[in-house]
Amino acid sequence: MFQHLYGVYAAALTPLQEDGALDLDGLERLLEFLAQRGCHGALLFGTTGEGPSFSPIERLAALQRAVAWRQSRPKFHLLAGTGTPSLTETADLTRAAFDLGMDGVVTLPPYYFRKVSDDGLFAWFAQVIRQSVPARSAFFGYHFPNVSGVPLSIDLLARLKDAYPEQFAGIKDSSGDPEHARALGQRFGSDLAILTGNDRLFSLAMQQQAAGCITAMANLHSPDLRQAWDAFQAGDDAALAQAQGRLDRARQIMDRCPPFPPLLKALLARQHGFPRWRVRPPLLNLSPEIEEQVAADLALIAD
């Protein structure tokens, strides 16, 4: 049902002006850049987009601008991060995202209470879906236990898919666990749309019938991800295609400098002439010393 949303997505950065306000012109420029470099779509206000740092009003202003930009790129898919610890706020934001014309939403579990049962999570997600997701609209859960502290178990996913087959599309799996990627493939095959959030697991995830990826590195390395995607669709060796690009080597370098938003913003400015967008506290802008070291390391793997 949701095959039209398969492909390579960027976990898009959120452009900010010097005073910390949204840079909506910069958002249009970034989306156009991603579209030109092979992305099928973008997720706005995910982890890389610093989603929890923005109010619903700010998020909706950016989503509205993105939908307006998409008039010139009608095949480019837009997903919105709508998860908050508040059930009511999450449902309201999700409903508004669909009303604006977003193609789907990616929703974190309520991440304040961490030791909750699958029954509790099912009740929370079920209420959000019933209140805010139209029939045949794509609702994705967000499995990122290392950050949210609240995993989405395979049994929970099965319950949600069985209960809401026309709305619960799948998950973004940012666990970074290859065994979990295999387990998802074995349990669901192509019945659930799994979008891996880990660049280095992309070819493996596709072998397990994943629907694509949503990754931070797509802000810089979407051509490499698209190369692996196209190879897999053509029946060629996606792992080889991925290895031939610079993605894996660049990811190893950048993994030494978490979190990703300040690093990616600095590299976009350095490599592609974007403004030096700020990050919002509690994140801090990248220090010049770290930027120079990462740039030097990346230069060693340049073609």
Query: Which residues are known catalytic residues?
Result: 47, 112, 142, 172
Q: Using CB atoms within 10 Å of the CB of residue 135, give its burial: 0 to 12 exposed, 13 to 18 middle, 19+ buried.
A: exposed
Cβ atoms < 10 Å from Cβ of 189: 11
- DSSP conformation letters of the chain: --GGG-EEEEE----B-TTS-B-HHHHHHHHHHHHHTT-SEEEESSTTTTGGGS-HHHHHHHHHHHHHHGGG-TTSEEEEE---S-HHHHHHHHHHHHHHT-SEEEE----S--S--HHHHHHHHHHHHHHH--TT-EEEEEE-HHHHS----HHHHHHHHHH-TTTEEEEEE-S--HHHHHHHHHHHTTSSEEEE--GGGHHHHHHTT--EEEETTHHHHHHHHHHHHHHHHTTS-HHHHHHHSSHHHHHHHHTTS--HHHHHHHHHHHHH--------TTS-PPPHHHHHHHHHHHHTT--
